[in-house]
Amino acid sequence: MPHFLTTQDAGFEAAFTALLGMKREDSPDVDATVAAIIADVRARGDAAVIELTAKFDRLELTPETLAFTAAEIAAEVAKVSAEDRAALELAATRIRAYHARQMPEDQMWQEDNGAQLGWRWTPVSAAGLYVPGGLASYPSSVLMNAIPAKVAGVARLAIACPTPGGVVNPLVLLAAQIAGVDVIYRIGGAQAIAALAYGTDSIAAVDKITGPGNAFVAAAKRRVFGKVGIDMIAGPSEILVIADGDTDPDWVALDLLSQAEHDESAQSILITPDAAYARTVTAAVEKRLETLERRAIAGASWRDFGAVIVTRDLEEAAALSNRVAPEHLELCVADPDALSARITHAGAIFLGGWTPEAIGDYVGGPNHVLPTARSARFSSGLSVMDFLKRTTLAKMTPEALAAIGPAAERLAISESLEAHGLSVRARLNRLNGTH
Amino acid sequence: MPHFLTTQDAGFEAAFTALLGMKREDSPDVDATVAAIIADVRARGDAAVIELTAKFDRLELTPETLAFTAAEIAAEVAKVSAEDRAALELAATRIRAYHARQMPEDQMWQEDNGAQLGWRWTPVSAAGLYVPGGLASYPSSVLMNAIPAKVAGVARLAIACPTPGGVVNPLVLLAAQIAGVDVIYRIGGAQAIAALAYGTDSIAAVDKITGPGNAFVAAAKRRVFGKVGIDMIAGPSEILVIADGDTDPDWVALDLLSQAEHDESAQSILITPDAAYARTVTAAVEKRLETLERRAIAGASWRDFGAVIVTRDLEEAAALSNRVAPEHLELCVADPDALSARITHAGAIFLGGWTPEAIGDYVGGPNHVLPTARSARFSSGLSVMDFLKRTTLAKMTPEALAAIGPAAERLAISESLEAHGLSVRARLNRLNGTH
């Protein structure tokens, strides 16, 4: 049974705070191991990557076979059914269209004194996308990471994807091909992150690394941060559904389970002002858990971290949701737009009962890489912005410098930065004819 | 003498690579100390903060005196001269105007099938700005951190600024007042970062922490990252000047020294195709170093990390600059706009000889918190975006779900995520009348 709370109960605030503070993930401390692997890859390059791949992935590589060849990719991709290909292509088209709208504009404007100010956006030169091997090797994540990079204009896009025992998911290769990825390395773990960050003889270094991974990958990303850019360190998935009671309880049950089935540490929360509906949805979840393929995982998640909260009204539901700051928020209510206006923190909002969260995972268009663990309070999902950076621009005229230079000089002196002040004063002196 | 390189020399590539890889900063390993301080503040709250402030800042506080009162701020601010106040206000006005233009727009559009997609920006609820005490307590940095937060719409803005021995910089308090900061705590170090991230009885937790600090502050920011958002971990300052030889050598010398005077680890680089000019500027630097107040610091920086590079032409200069990815880039050339178009990586560009970098530090308008240590390859300076986050929005219609739902279901099945597929299928069945 999930946690069942009612806001009118005396113990509610304590129970809700406990729910918010719940530690869902045990991060094994792999930092020392990861530090050693990174040092080894920096020191020995290809040789270290090849040895570590033999050890961890039971795969013998050479510098020549680190990357898939075009023929190898073509052979794997040929195994994909026409239906699966069409679905991936529809997803790619929609994701591309959504992210194209995110491209920010350059600006440059002129002030009355002739000064020009503005900024300019440029893409990172090269990006590396990590794609886990095995069960969590999701072609949809390839699209969600690679397409924003391509839209941003990244010139070189590399994937690192371990292939334990040589086994690869053809859909991952197809997704990479559709997204326009340039090279796919059959390497994984901390060694792959180190190779992408520092480069080896056969693997060119990149400037930004994104994508999910296990504890070793996460620790390696933290360690190379600064040398390269990284995206967020994602935690287990979460969904919060606010429902007024008019959406089919089975639909909501399936939406809750679609997060729970990801991971035993995932969290699914239902908030509703309708106590009877809360019980109906809970029963529908139990019913679906009897037959669901991943019922062991989904059942553990729902039992340990699931929660059903009955509120006085929808306004109170929105306020609680804002304290959770969920990764995914479904508003299964009659007027989702009005309720959405009350939401201040959420990674993605799905408006109305006809918008299951799973649409956003695949074909909706928005990115499915979203802030977890309450980080929607201060961060955003993956976007083209993650592959761009802004250069600010300033161009003074003599008139502009005469107008604002003295204030700069004064502040420089107040901060005891004499050369700063002199660099302005020397120019002002020229204008004044004193020098 | 700085490093002197000529691209036509045989050893150039090796020397330039060494320059790029040069380690300028020794980061003391304070992580264990910082971890203990954070744990202490989490466990004991105010009491820990007060004890640590007594120990490190020789200042006895109580929960009531942790923050400056309005009367205390007014008394300090009254000490500021009218000229300094006017300079700060001019800076604030210009910084506010520049950053107001950065506010991104919300978007929502409708597809032919009735689906609506878009996103919405919301500010973080509360931000904490760290302001170092002592020599590096810069009022300009208060403006550069606080104003973007206010423009973004952050409701609560707190400053933590240590006041060793009780000494405070009145200009810092005035800058905070001008920028609209809500509360100023007289605390510093890792204990201040811990208090802002986790909260205590007297200090409310924030969602985002920005601002520069020493090694303890930097280590603490790294540790609380995830619990709250942080800005970049800034390294020592850098300037790169590309000059064609027509800008007064003394101006360029002062611009180079205005970074060098910050810190012995700062780096100033001149790139020019004019070898004679390179020597003239070098001589001008030496001349200024004879009398500069901070000549010990600036001299050490110039000697250890300064570089003068003579290139074949300006195109080669731009290409080298892109490999450096400097924090500040001055283009002291006849056609700075044309050269700027060749620049792919730089935190801020100052166009033409009338735009000394120091203008950007104070009154230009753009932010002076910029990516250091080559991180302009993948990151940007501080902006309103650092205090905003994006929530993606999706609203399907039955028609839209009928059109794209089957592809989502297919991809869910291919990823063995049955509940994802069922959450779509249950709705499609309703449309098909099969359920």
Prediction ipTM score: 0.96
**B413 — contact with chain A (CB < 8 Å)?**
no
Let me know if residue A93 belongs to a domain.
yes
Which A-chain residues 262-301 have CB contacts (< 8 A) with chain B? 262, 288, 292-294, 298
Query: In angstroms, rounded to a whole number, what is the distance separating the alpha carbons of residues A422 and A408?
Result: 10
User: Which pairing describes strands A107-110 and A116-123: parallel, antiparallel, or unpaired?
Assistant: antiparallel
**B68 — contact with chain A (CB < 8 Å)?**
no
Residue B250's pLDDT is what? 98
Q: Quote the crossing angle between the two packed helices A46-57 and A189-198, to the nearest 10°.
A: 160
- Taking an 8 Å cut-off on Cβ atoms, the answer to whether A390 and B383 are in contact is yes
Same domain, A127 and A50: yes
Give residue-wise pLDDT tens across range B102-146: 999 999 999 999 999 999 999 999 999 999 987 778 999 999 999
Query: In angstroms, rounded to a whole number, what is the distance separating the alpha carbons of residues A54 and B318?
Result: 43
List CB contacts (< 8 A) between B171 and chain A. 414
Give residue-wise pLDDT tens across range B258-293: 999 999 999 999 999 999 999 999 999 999 999 999
Residue B398: which of B356, B427, B434 has the closest Cα? Answer: B427
Same domain, A77 and A187: yes
Give residue-wise pLDDT tens across range A352-387: 999 999 999 999 999 999 999 999 999 999 999 999
- Taking an 8 Å cut-off on Cβ atoms, the answer to whether A124 and B378 are in contact is yes
Q: Which of B238, B261, B264, B327 is catalytic?
A: B327
CB of B120 closer than 8 Å to CB of B150: no
Q: Which residue out of B81, B178, B377, B388 would a mutagenesis test of the A interface target, given it has the greatest number of A Cβ atoms within 10 Å?
A: B377
A345 a catalytic residue: no
Which residue type is seen at B363? Answer: V
For B70, residues 6+ apart whose C-beta sits below 8 A from its C-beta are none
- Taking an 8 Å cut-off on Cβ atoms, the answer to whether A84 and B410 are in contact is yes
Same domain, A407 and A340: no
Same domain, B247 and B319: yes
Query: In angstroms, rounded to a whole number, what is the distance separating the alpha carbons of residues B46 and B210?
Result: 22
List CB contacts (< 8 A) between B415 and chain A. 138-140
- Total of domains in chain B: 3
Residue B283's pLDDT is what? 98
Residue A435's pLDDT is what? 57
Give me the mean pLDDT over the B196-213 stretch: 97
Same domain, B239 and B216: no
A328 a catalytic residue: yes
CA-to-CA dists, residue B260 to A367, B218, B252, B310, angstroms: 43, 22, 12, 20
- Taking an 8 Å cut-off on Cβ atoms, the answer to whether B360 and A392 are in contact is yes
Residue B342: which of A192, A391, A422 has the closest Cα? Answer: A391
**A323 — contact with chain B (CB < 8 Å)?**
no
CA-to-CA dists, residue A286 to A6, A236, A277, B41, B416, angstroms: 20, 22, 14, 43, 20
Residue B435's pLDDT is what? 58
Give the residue from A171, A201, A230 where a domain finishes: A230
**A125 — contact with chain B (CB < 8 Å)?**
yes
Let me know if residue A347 belongs to a domain.
yes
Give me the mean pLDDT over the A236-248 stretch: 97
Give me the mean pLDDT over the B179-185 stretch: 98
Q: Which residue out of A359, A430, A435 would a mutagenesis test of the B interface target, given it has the greatest number of B Cβ atoms within 10 Å?
A: A359
Give residue-wise pLDDT tens across range A276-312: 999 999 999 999 999 999 999 999 999 999 999 999 9
* Confidence tier at A269 by pLDDT (50, 70, 90): very high
Residue A299's pLDDT is what? 98
Residue B64's pLDDT is what? 97
Region at A106 (left for phi over 0; alpha for psi -120 to 50; beta for the rest): beta
Give residue-wise pLDDT tens across range A18-48: 999 888 877 778 989 999 999 999 999 999 9
Residue A28's pLDDT is what? 75
Residue A134's pLDDT is what? 76
Same domain, A317 and A294: yes
* Confidence tier at A233 by pLDDT (50, 70, 90): confident
Residue B130: which of B76, B64, B50, B210 has the closest Cα? Answer: B210
Burial of B392 (0-12, 13-18, 19+ CB in 10 A): buried
* Confidence tier at B433 by pLDDT (50, 70, 90): confident
- Taking an 8 Å cut-off on Cβ atoms, the answer to whether B364 and A394 are in contact is yes
Q: Which of A261, A327, A330, A357 is catalytic?
A: A327
Residue B251: which of B355, B161, B137 has the closest Cα? Answer: B355
For B99, residues 6+ apart whose C-beta sits below 8 A from its C-beta are B147, B148, B151, B365, B367, B383, B384
Q: Closest partner residue to A362 among B86, B337, B407, by Cβ?
A: B407
Counting one residue from A and one from B, how many pairs have CB atoms under 8 Å apart? 356
Let me know if residue A74 belongs to a domain.
yes
Residue A140's pLDDT is what? 96
Residue B27's pLDDT is what? 73
Same domain, A207 and A268: no
The CA-based angle A104-B408-A362, given to 5 degrees, is 30
Give the residue from A167, A199, A230 where a domain finishes: A230
Let me know if residue A266 belongs to a domain.
yes
Same domain, B334 and B347: yes
Same domain, A183 and A243: no
Which residue type is seen at B83? Answer: E
Let me know if residue B387 belongs to a domain.
no
Q: Closest partner residue to A389 among B116, B262, B379, by Cβ?
A: B379
Average pLDDT, chain B: 96
- Size of chain B in residues: 435
Residue A152: which of A329, A385, A401 has the closest Cα? Answer: A385
Residue A1's pLDDT is what? 77
**B47 — contact with chain A (CB < 8 Å)?**
no
Give B390's strand partners: B121
Give the residue from A203, A230, A257 where a domain finishes: A230
Same domain, B70 and B41: yes
**Is residue A62 over pLDDT 80?**
yes
Domain with residue B205: its CATH number is 3.40.50.1980
Give me the mean pLDDT over the B406-418 stretch: 97
Q: Which of A76, A261, A328, A368 is catalytic?
A: A328
Let me know if residue A116 belongs to a domain.
no
Residue A224: which of A17, A425, A34 has the closest Cα? Answer: A34
Residue A332: which of A305, A307, A358, A356 has the closest Cα? Answer: A356
Same domain, A148 and A211: yes
Same domain, B272 and B341: yes
Q: Closest partner residue to B426 among A250, A412, A418, by Cβ?
A: A250
Displacement of CA A150 from its chain's centroid (Å)? 16
Residue B308's pLDDT is what? 98
Give residue-wise pLDDT tens across range B353-379: 999 999 999 999 999 999 999 999 999
Taking residue A199's Cβ as centre, other Cβ atoms within 10 Å add up to 16
**B177 — contact with chain A (CB < 8 Å)?**
no
Q: How far apart are the first and last CA of chain B?
A: 82
DSSP E strands, A175-292: 183-185, 208-210, 229-230, 238-243, 267-272
Give me the mean pLDDT over the A340-345 stretch: 98
**B393 — contact with chain A (CB < 8 Å)?**
yes
Let me know if residue B378 belongs to a domain.
no
Which A-chain residues 349-378 have CB contacts (< 8 A) with chain B? 349-367, 370-371, 373, 375-378
Let me know if residue B167 belongs to a domain.
yes
Give A392's strand partners: A119, B348
List CB contacts (< 8 A) between A84 and chain B. 410-411, 414
How far B70 CA sits from the closest chain A CA (Å)? 24
**Is residue A198 over pLDDT 60?**
yes
Range of the domain at B144: 31-103+122-230
Q: Closest partner residue to B423 among A251, A378, A430, by Cβ?
A: A251
**B196 — contact with chain A (CB < 8 Å)?**
no
Residue B134: which of B97, B188, B81, B88 has the closest Cα? Answer: B188
Continuous H helices in B348-397: 357-362
**B426 — contact with chain A (CB < 8 Å)?**
yes
